[in-house]
Structure 1
């Protein structure tokens, strides 16, 4: 998939992507726009969100930016209302906003614990609860949460992050059962080995090995990209995936099976 390509004829559905200013979130925004969706780019980095939305517009796509802290319910509601005013009802939500943390378990402060839970779990709660009424009213909707392979296999030195992402997986399954009869599917993607700005920062801080070392631990022999995550999101948001809900779709090069 080439996110910079000219937009294809698409369904013109309204997509909200959190964490859309960089990394996987940016790739997801650009991929949806390239396929004809109308995209709302939400991120705490308002300038970054504007940059991504402007780039989409320059390539002929349709996007708006909303500076949004997903831990702030008022800010989330304001962003959702802006999307409704500009584009109409929200049909697809991808919760890509996230925050990573590293510390031995006994050294995790209550403040650090609460911060990771707030961004990675409560942020998903706020965004889904704010957007899903539109899907219920329409009798159709797609929610894709971005969790983490850390929730599947456990990651020492990241227990707070792992706990939050594991809860996202559980939330996804609960939502899927609750809203299946309403025509809404809810699935999660737990990435692993994806080359992103966040992973590069973690490498620079000494928390992760470099890309060559990481690639050797992945069965396919190389890291993934944001485009790989975006492709999975596009599929799960499509009509073709209407019989898929409550599932964990690993995009990880075979590193978690």
Structure 2
């Protein structure tokens, strides 16, 4: 039994939790645990079979949920996601900006297209979704925004320059938004994982094996994070318990950076 499968509670009972990049990896761990703690999940992903995957993760006993296949790196796509949450459930309590994924390669090997895609996936998804939810949260006088950043921003991981530029923007957006909206019942934080066990990393693609080993060797604990361990931190910051925490970047990294 995985960590997130073992958790059952009511921490998010009747709350609406929106999660981007929800159909795999860290996203699937977040939505699974949120639903098991009572949340109505609104899952967003662009995967062709994303809705079927989300249904499989949540299972038949999950509270009512919704799926949106829009491109949330655009203003229209982010608005569609928020409109779906409000149309189905009438409120929106938590946004987890998890959509991302980098094209990891040496900086000079990038093309204009791969650089643009890396920024779109990681930074613009976070910007547009955050802009779409803040008016709703401001009116409610309550909201939690949790971004998924990257520990590589702090340790300068090899071949991550362009990815770090995008995720570093997410970290900077976090502190700026946190200060701007602190008086309105909205907190904004980032969870920054190191290498994490996902279907991609576990598949050990030949072109990435050497990079994975170099990354693992930087982690004193000696392994990658489990997706459920990252989800645990995300959902703590998304909860009412974390009401006095805002503007923080929390590394989930097995000690690869400290302080």
TM-score when scaled to structure 1?
Answer: 0.92
- Structure 1: where are the runs of 5+ without partners? none
1:175 is aligned to 177
1:101-159 deviation line (CA, Å, top 9, x unaligned)? 12222222112111111111111111111111111001111000001011112133221
RMSD: 2.0
Structure 1 position 207, deviation (Å): 2.9
Change (3 A) 1:54 1:83: farther
CA distance in structure 2 between the partners assigned to 1:41 and 1:60 by the alignment: 13
Change (3 A) 1:18 1:85: same
CA distance in structure 1 between the partners assigned to 2:65 and 2:37 by the alignment: 12
Structure 1 position 200, deviation (Å): 4.3
CA distance in structure 2 between the partners assigned to 1:217 and 1:155 by the alignment: 9
Structure 1 position 253, deviation (Å): 1.0
Which range moves more in the overlay, 231-240 or 56-65? 56-65
Q: Does 1:237 align with 2:238?
A: yes
Structure 1 position 92, deviation (Å): 0.4
Which range moves more in the overlay, 231-240 or 139-148? 231-240
Q: Which runs of 4+ in 1 moved over 6 A?
A: 210-213
1:9 is aligned to 10
1:178-236 deviation line (CA, Å, top 9, x unaligned)? 000011000001100211124346x4142343867654542223221110111001110
The number of equivalent residue pairs is 256
Q: Does 1:111 align with 2:129?
A: no
Which range moves more in the overlay, 162-171 or 208-217? 208-217
1:27 is aligned to 29
2:253 is aligned to 252
1:85-234 correspondence to structure 2 within 5 Å: 85-200=87-202, 203-209=204-210, 214-234=215-235
1:35-90 deviation line (CA, Å, top 9, x unaligned)? 01111110011522342135424133332111121223212211211111111221
CA distance in structure 1 between the partners assigned to 2:215 and 2:169 by the alignment: 26
2:41 is aligned to 39
- Structure 2: where are the runs of 5+ without partners? none
2:84 is aligned to 82
CA distance in structure 1 between the partners assigned to 2:145 and 2:160 by the alignment: 26
Give the 3-state SS of the residue equivalent to 1:97 in structure 2: coil
Which range moves more in the overlay, 58-67 or 14-23? 58-67
